[in-house]
Chains A and B, each alone.
Chain A
Amino acid sequence: MAVATWKTAIVVGASSGMGEAVARRLAAEGCRVALVARRADELAAVAESIGKATVDGRVVVRTHDVADGAAVPAIWDSVERELGAVDLLVFAAGIMPAVGESEYSFEKDRAILEVNLIGAVAWLDEAALRMETARRGTIVGISSVAGDRGRRGSPAYATSKAAMNCLLEALRNRLARRGVTVCTIRPGYVDTPMTKDLHLPARMTISAALAAQLILSAARKKRGVDVYVPGRWAFIMFVIRNIPSFVFRRLSI
């Protein structure tokens, strides 16, 4: 068993996908984990299965909709009362509803931004405040390769991830001198409930468990990092980022 770098973690968006996989891995390493998600039933089931696999860590759950940012300080306090000082925050909440190629639905786009971006601001602000005070801790934001370009597929989703990248970089620059590590994670194709309808190419797609392993090993580095998961996406996205806009709009990616 690997030695846990962290004693107490909050994983936001822990009821499925990469959040669940990260929480599972942390718990297996002996880290106390607070699982935060909107769907109470899924959360309870995940907590139970993680709890069984835990060596000596403890798992608690908090039902919370990240669009309700004002509730975050109280949740953080209640987790710390139960588990002790939090030294790792993983923000993995995100939604990617299907968007038609000529669809323009304000309510749907607003919901994407409220969860993916405003929810991230609420949790990352809280984490930064607490960890800058403590002069230690790690903040991990699960972004996406989708934030690298304005693809035609889902404008609001890409926007939310691009904004999240900027937010994470700004916090990394703020907190570098304050003993706090901030990591941006840009996953490529990962097999999760969010992507199950996308028919991702199997050879390019990794499991959520492997993604979680790569995410945590990147976050364990003392210097804050911005990484693609898995690493080969760094090359792919380097090429894609450098395609001129007038060419990009003619491509089918």
Chain B
Amino acid sequence: MTRTAPERHVLSGWGESHHGFARVQRPRSADEVGRALADAAREGRRVCLRGAGRSYGDASVFSRGDVLDMTALDRVRSFDPATGTIVVEAGVTIETLWRTSLPHGYWPAVVPGTMRPTVGGAIAMNIHGKNHFKSGGFGEHVEVLEVALPGGEMRIVHAATDPGLFRAIVGGLGLLGVVTAARLRLKRVHSGLLDVTAVPVASLAGLIAEFERRAPDADYLVGWVDCFDRDGRAVLHDARYLPANADPLPEESLRLTAQDLPAKILGVVPRGVVPAALGLFASPRGMSVLNRGKYRTSSLRGTHSFRQPHVQFAFLLDYIPGWKRIYDPGGLIQYQSFVPRDAALRVHTELLAMCRSRGIVPWLGVYKKHRSCPFLMTHALDGYSFAMDFPVTAQNRERLWALCHDMDEVVLAAGGRFYFAKDLTATPGALRRAYPNLDAFLAIRRELDPAGMLTSDLAIRLGITQAAAAV
């Protein structure tokens, strides 16, 4: 039996602000996952799961521990163009999903802002997209999971017949079992294009009003917020699927080549030079100028509409390669708070004021609308989320963490939540207050993983599991 020998790697969160070194094993099949778990159980080792490593913080890092890299489980087991049902291994990426399905007129029902994450990671975090208010989280479009349990059992979990377990594993942070494959339901689309409308609004209040006005009809809504502006001026993008027959040549727009990200930005700037150009703005003053420029450009044009391929609209983060380099060398954290609808304007206005008064202003702010969903450890609620990107430096790190903890208090007092695909600062106390179902989740965990084998730096930080013994 050949098995990949463990290797030592430095692993980072996607925000490049959390790092750890670990022994990494890369199983190539569900069987090899099972064997890796059995080995770990026999040797009393604990294991962390990692997909594409797109969680911003510490969810897929296990400092000085063992990490199972799931990206080699990358096969599409089946795709049925008649029903839009696809069965994939856990390491298959969102990119593979749409590349497989779009020529047949299907698009993944929920996609994040980058196409690189794996399906396994998307399930563990129950990720969301710009259509959360309408389509819910990723897990709502999953029908069946194939899960390797830490005890060695391989279990098939149906959403319909085993909802209790299903709703614990989806969003379960990879702490209940190893999802090795999943059956997903994709969304029928009649064109490779979306009808997009950009709407500049002068304030956060105006942005929320625009969200509420457009939500009944829009398929995707996302707001970019200028955090350097006192009022939180913003640009909202509203995107809608084209109805049947609206696209005169759907077979053209559904082709993969029609979706590829353009090699040049605005038709002239090669994408490769963008990180260097962005580097010129890599300071609070520079980002203030960039944010102002973006708003001014949009407000000069006013509300305007255009058609855009799905890929260009959905995967903004992939559009500018190397954008993260503007955060070198300390990386970034994204502080994303979810707040009930009625409190959102008040809470998020207060958070912005706190950032300004502490002199730590987010370089990027993204606003989204959400609905509640049935998963045990869901971050989603009926309300709004505000994602703030902060640069991390050796000088600001302590103050930034203090700011986040103070913002936690404001968010928690309003009944808000956090999202562990992004988080790097929340405390065990915040977890307990934000997640009322925590005890139920821990009870299921004790049942499925009595030895506490599955872990991560995130789980350790939140007090769900204990730290690794020294390697």
A residues touching B (Cβ–Cβ < 8 Å)?
73, 77, 129-130, 132-135, 177-179
Contacts and interface: CB of A to CB of B under 8 A. Distances in A.
A177 B328 contact: yes
B20 A133 contact: yes
Given A130-B21, A133-B19, A133-B21, A178 B8 contact: no
A132 B471 contact: no
Contacts of B10: 129, 132-133
A193 B32 CA distance: 54
A73 B471 CA distance: 8
A179 B20 contact: no
Given A73-B471, A133-B10, A179 B329 contact: yes
Given A73-B471, A77-B470, A77-B471, A129 B19 contact: no
Given A133-B10, A133-B19, A133-B21, A178 B470 contact: no
A141 to B, nearest CB: 20
Interface string B226-269: 00000000000000000000000000000000000000000000
A123 to B, nearest CB: 14
A135 B17 CA distance: 9
Contacts, number: 23
A132 B8 contact: no
A135 B20 contact: no
B470 A135 contact: no
Interface size class of B (residues with CB under 8 A): 10 to 19
Given A129-B21, A177-B328, 14 more contacts: A73-B471, A77-B470, A77-B471, A129-B10, A133-B19, A133-B20, A133-B21, A133-B63, A134-B19, A135-B329, A135-B330, A177-B329, A178-B329, A179-B329
Nearest to A178: B329
21 contacts: A73-B471, A77-B470, A77-B471, A129-B8, A129-B10, A129-B21, A130-B21, A132-B10, A132-B21, A133-B10, A133-B19, A133-B20, A133-B21, A133-B63, A135-B19, A135-B329, A135-B330, A177-B328, A177-B329, A178-B329, A179-B329
Contacts of B19: 132-135
A153 B470 CA distance: 45
Interface in B9-37: 10, 19-21
Nearest to A128: B10
Which of B8, B10, B19, B21 has most A Cβ within 10 Å?
B10
Interface in B54-109: 63
Interface of B: 8, 10, 19-21, 63, 328-330, 470-471
Contacts of B21: 129-130, 132-133
A77 B21 CA distance: 13
Contacts of A177: 328-329
Shortest beta-carbon contacts, A-B, top 9: A132-B10, A133-B19, A133-B21, A179-B329, A133-B10, A129-B21, A77-B470, A129-B8, A133-B20
Nearest to B471: A73
B63 to A, nearest CB: 8
Contacts of A73: 471
Contacts of B471: 73, 77
A179 B330 CA distance: 9
B356 to A, nearest CB: 28
Contacts of B470: 77
A130 to B, nearest CB: 7
Contacts of A130: 21
A5 to B, nearest CB: 15
A206 B470 CA distance: 43
A175 to B, nearest CB: 10
A135 B328 CA distance: 11
A77 B8 CA distance: 15
Contacts of A132: 10, 19, 21
Contacts of B328: 177
Contacts of A179: 329
A121 to B, nearest CB: 13
A134 B20 CA distance: 8
A129 B328 CA distance: 19
A129 B330 CA distance: 17
Contacts of B20: 133
Contacts of A133: 10, 19-21, 63
Contacts of B329: 135, 177-179
Nearest to B11: A133
Contacts of A134: 19
A47 B346 CA distance: 63
A133 B63 CA distance: 9
A100 to B, nearest CB: 41
B65 to A, nearest CB: 13
Contacts of A178: 329
Nearest to B16: A135
A73 B20 CA distance: 15
Nearest to B63: A133
A76 B21 CA distance: 14
B15 to A, nearest CB: 13
A194 to B, nearest CB: 32
A73 B330 CA distance: 26
A43 to B, nearest CB: 25
B177 to A, nearest CB: 28
B456 to A, nearest CB: 16
Contacts of A77: 470-471
A178 B19 CA distance: 11
